[in-house]
A and B are shown apart, each in its own frame.
Chain A
Amino acid sequence: MSGITFIRQLAEVVLAIAIAPLFSGWIAQCRAWLQNRSAPPLLQPYRMLDKLFHKDAALAMDASALFRATPYVLFGAMALAAAIIPSLVTDLPLARVADAIALIGLFATARVFQSLAAMDIGTAFGTMGARREMMVGFLAEPALLMVLFNAFLVFGSTALPDLVDGYAAHRAAVDPSVIFAAVAFLMVLLAENARLPIDNPATHLELTMIHEAMLLEYSARHLALVEWASSLKLFNYACIGFALFLPWGIATHGQDGGLPLFLAFAALIGKLALAGAALAFVESLSAKLRIFRAPEYLAMAFLIAVLGLLVHLLLRA
């Protein structure tokens, strides 16, 4: 691998790590506007992180090494995923490491670690959060897999760079199945990132929490890392969505100059701004579901993805 691709790889990861909190901040801001509240400043997440990093970590007496290592593992997994997902360019040295299915696996690794850490201290809320997180996870995974299956049928690969390249090469007119896949993906994105209607990221009521309940015992730098990892996860999901459904602007193989890179960067920022606003809009429209309606919601996502698959199989002839 040449030096320049390596630098681009590094730049992409650093960019992802740097702007992921901004994306979360942007969504929070849009939500506040839509709800007629005065919005927190755009850079609020960074201030949060800065504050947390400088506090002393308060750790429960019997927290094990697993509990302390988990924030780093989460952050590592999410940063690595950001390196694999083509958000700016497709010609990445690490992109071959994991196709989209392996990416799901990487996210699952992070989820399992987080759940285990939540059970480590042995509090009622922690175990409850772990149980619910795993429940949402195991229902969301098949739906996500069906979305990827659909992408595979349309473009013949499960590797995200191939999908983007294939899209650039064919410019296929909209395949109806893609619409289904996009709806299903959006539903899974909301569920997997602990957003409404499955989980409320802004809740302070422990009994309704899923994601937050698992973080209750974390503080200071550990909490900062976990929060950063979750905003990275949201960013990653958004970038997977872009690669699957809105790949315009991403610099494909052979587009090496500075201009495509700049265009890709501008496109990414534009897409993130739009996606953030759209997410905030969808979230403001929906109410939180009862926890036992969550299977229904995710089953719906799954079925929509499968329908897309079937529609593709029917209409391809």
Chain B
Amino acid sequence: MVHDLRFLLILVTIWVVLGLAGLLGLHSIRLERLLFLLGALVAFSVAVLAGMFLAAGGTAQVLVLPLGLPDLPFHIRLDALSAFFLLLVGVAGAGISTFAAGYFRSGEGTAPALLGLQYHVFLASMAVVILADDAYLFMVAWETMALSSYFLVTSQHRIPDIRRAGFLYLIMAHVGAICILLSFGVLQGGSWQFTFDAMRGASLTPFWATTAFLLALLGFGAKAGLVPLHVWLPEAHPAAPSPVSAMMSGLMLKTAIYGMLRISFDLLHVRLWWWGALLLALGLFSALYGAIFAAVQTDMKRLLAYSSIENIGVIFTGIGLAILFETSGLRLFAALAFTAALVHALNHALFKSLLFLATGSVLHATKQRSLGKLGGLIRHMPWVATLALVGTLSIAGLPPLNGFVSEWLLLQSFLFTPQLPHAFLNMLIPLGAAALALTVALAAYVMVKFYGVIFLGQPREASLANARDANWLERLGLGWLALGCIVIGVLPQLALRSAAAVTGTLLGESVRPSATVWWIAPIASGQASYSGLILLLGIVGVVGVAFVLVRFLAHGRVRRTATWDCGYPWQTSRMQDTAEGFGQPIRHMFGGFFRMERDLPSPTDRAPRYRIHIEDRLWRGIYLPIARGVQRLADAIGVVQSGRLSIYLLYSFLTLIALLIFVLL
């Protein structure tokens, strides 16, 4: 039965058609709005199809397309892994597209029709990346994805900073793509067949397998924003319009995760345990690094971008653990860690998209991105504030929402690491659980800052009083994503069951999706269990009873008065913590991570100003030296450029002679 795959192809084609249809009315925002809504419908259908495919067990379906170069047709394949990631793209994409229908307005940078085209091509190319079954189609789709997202990032191309961010992104994307291409080159293992089927059959020595793995890690790590390949991410994601930021953070990063999983668990037969240790270390470091940097950001979208680095780190931690367990023969635990990584990928797609979209609404309502100029929006934008609260609690890893589920699964799999048969590692890795717990708790800190500074407290600017709530399409999109966060949090069985199909095909072992209808107990029914549903019902129940009792036994009288603040009457909104102030403890504790420049006012200043500038050490430590090296090399090569035509002709002539001699020999 290849119906699912055919349907999916048709849906992907519709995306492209929708994008092209927008060109009929270049500046018509109405048409674009309709097209975005239709795109959302297509995304929803993709999610439904992928979900049904997973529920049916996920037996692979293959198709050869009569497209591409002669003798080099495109192969596509739908299996459990790709279905899971299509589900992710579909679910989150539906919400983002609905929001985008209400978000884009004319007169902002690129014309709406072009935006719509780029947007839908971006979506379609992500789907094709996930469906591709040969390196050729994969690379074509991968590059299409990179280019379309580049154009989307630079849609406000009149701002120099955004052009710079887009350029940095493009460079990193291409360096990554080269690594992936090389990795495929190694993976074909001398067969010169670039279909994934051939790669699965190729037998590689551990050395070449390691080479392929490390190249893939470089390539996909650059796309996913793994530290130290992350520098483009906090520049490019905030620069894009919010729906695009949501797509890049929520979905595009996941295609890199998909690629990593596809290569390391499907295409490669040999896996070495230290790959897992490497991924684990990189993942944990990225997670901690991202969380620490997110805590000191003052731009709301940059904060979210750093938080994406953190979450990608968490996902890579899960993958690393899975490899470690799998190579030690502990398949069930490997499945647990793998499931945690997959579910976290899905969760991150939901809550990060939700939050990026919410920042979009805030941006439209207030024209402010800086946290220092926001505040108190819960009173003017109750819809956005409420829905963003769901996202905030989810991303902070709090039960009973979805972020907690994946973190719980990951911590559970950490508990079994002392069973690993490596003498030093089984003592070191439990520390990883602590690092993870630290990261998760730091994420809660970051999100309290994010939500508290934007939505709570007093407005820090007078103009914020005019902020208006999001329109109904935006609310619908946000609501859909928030619903996703709640559903997965309350009924984690759904996500676990979808992931079970993936781990079943790749590892030959799956966690138990659920002990009963009520709770999940992934390892054994007697062991650790968790039920988001009862937790939610319990809290709601107790709150309800408490509320009724308080009203019944006491009273409900309320007197509205001025703020007390320990009797200090002259307080203003400037006395609240700023974003810098809230991040200060983190800056104090993790000072070594930052490169800080601080201007402290002197006591006698007439107009005291405090300024702090925080930079990534890695930018100066790694990237600028590389850039200087390239510059020097280019200068050296530049010597051959003289500008005289006859010299260039001489070069060509010499080359021709050299080649002829070569042929002669």
Determine whether A and B are in direct contact in the complex, meaning some CB atoms lie less than 8 angstroms apart: yes
C-alpha spacing A123/B452, complex, angstroms: 12
Out of B444, B457, B553, B557, name the residue touching A134 (CB < 8 Å).
B444
The one of A130, A137, A221 in contact with B550, judged by C-beta atoms closer than 8 angstroms, is A221
- In the complex, whether A186 has a CB less than 8 A from a CB of chain B is no
Which chain A positions have C-beta within 8 A of B127? none
Q: Are A142 and B562 in contact (CB under 8 A)?
A: no
Known contacts: A101-B528, A109-B399. The answer to whether A72 contacts B543 by CB under 8 A is yes
Q: Does B577 contact A (CB under 8 A)?
A: yes
| Closest Cβ neighbor of B565 among chain A residues | A123
Determine which residue in A105, A127, A141, A295 has the highest number of CB atoms from chain B within 10 A of its CB, and name it: A105
CA distance A66 to B589 in the complex (A): 31
Interface assignment of A300: CB less than 8 Å from any CB of chain B: no
The answer to whether B530 touches A112, judged by C-beta atoms less than 8 angstroms apart, is no
Q: Are A58 and B561 in contact (CB under 8 A)?
A: yes
Contact A142 B408 (CB under 8 A): no
Chain A contacts for B248, CB-based, 8 A: none
Residue of A94, A121, A127, A138 with most chain B CB atoms under a 10 A cut-off: A138
Contact A124 B565 (CB under 8 A): yes
- Please give me the residue from chain B that is nearest to A67 by CB atom: B456
Complex contact A75–B437 (CB within 8 A): no
B547 contacts A by Cβ under 8 Å: yes
Residues of A within 8 A of B555 (CB): 54, 56, 221
Query: Which of A54, A83, A135 has the most chain B CB atoms closer than 10 A to its own CB?
Result: A135
**B411 close to A (CB within 8 Å):** yes
- B647 at the A interface (CB under 8 A): no
Whether A35 sits at the interface, judged by CB under 8 Å, is no
Residues of B contacting A61 in the complex (Cβ-Cβ under 8 angstroms) = 560-563
Whether A116 pairs with B458 at a CB distance below 8 angstroms is: no
B185 within 8 A of A: no
Report the minimum CB–CB distance from A21 to chain B (whole Å): 15
Most buried by A among B546, B573, B581: B546
Given A97-B530, A142-B437, answer yes or no on A53-B412 (Cβ-Cβ < 8 Å). no
How many angstroms from the CA of A116 to the CA of B393 in the assembled complex?
A: 11
Contacts A59-B558, A137-B441, A138-B444; is A116 near B418 (CB within 8 Å)?
no
Residues of A within 8 A of B412 (CB): 101, 158
| In the assembled complex, B329 has its CB within 8 A of some CB on chain A | no
* Most chain B beta-carbon contacts within 10 A, residue among A109, A132, A159: A109
Contacts of A217 in B (CB 8 A): 563-565
Given contacts A61-B560, A102-B399, A149-B433, contact A131 B582 (CB under 8 A): yes
Interface contact A125-B566, CB-CB below 8 Å: yes
A89 at the interface (CB under 8 A from B): no
Which residue in A97, A120, A139, A313 is a CB contact (below 8 Å) of B427? A313
Residue A99 is within 8 A (CB to CB) of chain B in the complex: yes
Question: Which one, A236-244, A265-273, A274-282, A302-310, is touching chain B?
Answer: A302-310
8 Å CB contact of B535 from A54, A102, A158, A292: A102
- Closest CB-CB distance, B526 to chain A, in whole Å? 7
Of B20-28, B31-39, B80-88, B375-383, the stretch lying at the interface with chain A is B375-383
B442 — which chain A residues lie within 8 A by C-beta?
138
Q: Contact check, A108 vs B441: say whether CB atoms are below 8 A apart.
A: yes
Q: Is the CB of B527 within 8 A of A159?
A: yes
B451 contacts A by Cβ under 8 Å: yes
A101-B408 contact, Cβ under 8 Å, with A116-B452, A206-B566, A295-B589: yes
Interface residues of A in 156-195 (CB under 8 A from B): 156-159, 162
Enumerate chain A residues within 8 angstroms of B444, measured Cβ to Cβ: 108, 111-112, 134, 137-138
Q: Is A19 an interface residue (CB 8 A)?
A: no
User: Could you tell me which residues of chain A, from 76 to 116, have a CB within 8 Å of some CB in chain B?
Assistant: 76-77, 79-80, 83, 94, 96-99, 101-102, 105-106, 108-109, 111-112, 115-116
State the CA gap A131–B538 with chains docked (Å): 29
Task: Verify A79–B564 contact, CB threshold 8 A.
Answer: no
How many of chain A's residues have a CB under 8 angstroms from any CB in B? 76
Residues of B within 8 A of A138 (CB): 438, 441-442, 444-445
B541 shortest CB reach to chain A, Å? 8
- Binary flags per residue of A216-250, CB closer than 8 Å to B gives 1, else 0: 11000100010000000000000000000000000
Where chain B touches its partner, the secondary structure class is helix
Which B-chain residue is minimally distant from A143 (CB atoms)? B434
* A145 touching B456, Cβ below 8 Å: no
B327 within 8 A of A: no
Asked if A97 and B538 make an inter-chain contact with CB atoms under 8 angstroms apart, the answer reads yes
Query: Do residues A122 and B576 form an inter-chain contact, with CB atoms below 8 A?
Result: yes
Chain B contacts for A60, CB-based, 8 A: 560-564
Chain B residues bordering chain A, tally (CB within 8 A)? 83
Contact of B547 among A72, A131, A132 (CB under 8 A): A72
Please tell me if the beta carbons of B456 and A119 are within 8 angstroms of each other in the complex.
Answer: yes
B398, A109: Cβ atoms under 8 Å?
Answer: yes
Residue of A nearest to B435 (CB): A142
Q: How many angstroms between the C-alpha atoms of A157 and B412 in the bound complex?
A: 10
A146 contacts B434, C-beta separation under 8 Å: yes
Is A28 engaged at the interface, CB distance under 8 Å to the other chain? Answer: no
Which residue in chain A gives the minimum CB-CB distance to B389? Answer: A66
Q: Is B546 a contact of A72 with CB atoms below 8 Å?
A: yes
Chain A neighbourhood of B111, CB < 8 A:
none
Q: Which of A76, A101, A132, A141 contacts B441 (CB 8 A)?
A: A141
Chain B 562-604, CB within 8 Å of chain A: the 1/0 string? 1111100001010111000110111011000000000000000
Tell me the smallest distance from the CB of A303 to a CB of chain B, in Å: 10
Which of B375, B530, B539, B541 is close to A122, meaning CB atoms less than 8 Å apart? B375
- Partner pick for B554 among A54, A79, A216, CB 8 A cutoff: A54
Is there a chain A Cβ closer than 8 Å to B404's Cβ? yes
B396 interface contact, C-beta 8 A: yes
A48 within 8 A of B: no
Could you tell me the distance between the alpha carbons of A58 and B561 in the complex, rounded to whole angstroms? 6
Q: Which B residues lie within 8 Å of A43 (CB)?
A: none
Q: Is the CB of B559 within 8 A of A98?
A: no
Smallest CB gap from A96: residue in B:
B529
B426, B434, B560, B571: the one contacting A306 at CB < 8 Å is B434
Complex Cα spacing A20 to B445, Å: 28
Tell which of A54, A62, A225, A302 touches B546, judged by Cβ atoms closer than 8 Å.
Answer: A225
CB of A287 within 8 Å of the partner chain: no
Q: Is B624 an interface residue (CB 8 A)?
A: no
Q: Inside 8 A of A11's CB, which chain B residues have their CB? A: none
Check B543 against A73 for contact (C-beta < 8 Å).
yes
Also in contact, A53 and B542, with CB within 8 A (given A106-B535, A116-B448): no
Q: Is the CB of B393 within 8 A of A102?
A: no
Other contacts beyond A122-B563, A135-B445, A149-B433: 7, CB < 8 A: A75-B546, A76-B546, A101-B528, A102-B530, A105-B404, A123-B571, A145-B411
Using a CB–CB cutoff of 8 Å, the interface residues on chain A facing chain B are 53-54, 56-62, 64, 66, 72-73, 75-77, 79-80, 83, 94, 96-99, 101-102, 105-106, 108-109, 111-112, 115-116, 119-128, 130-132, 134-135, 137-139, 141-142, 145-146, 149, 152-153, 156-159, 162, 206, 216-217, 221, 225, 292, 295, 302, 306, 309-310, 313
Q: List 9 tightest A-B contacts by C-beta distance, closest first.
A: A122-B457, A138-B441, A122-B458, A119-B452, A127-B577, A76-B543, A76-B542, A99-B528, A141-B441
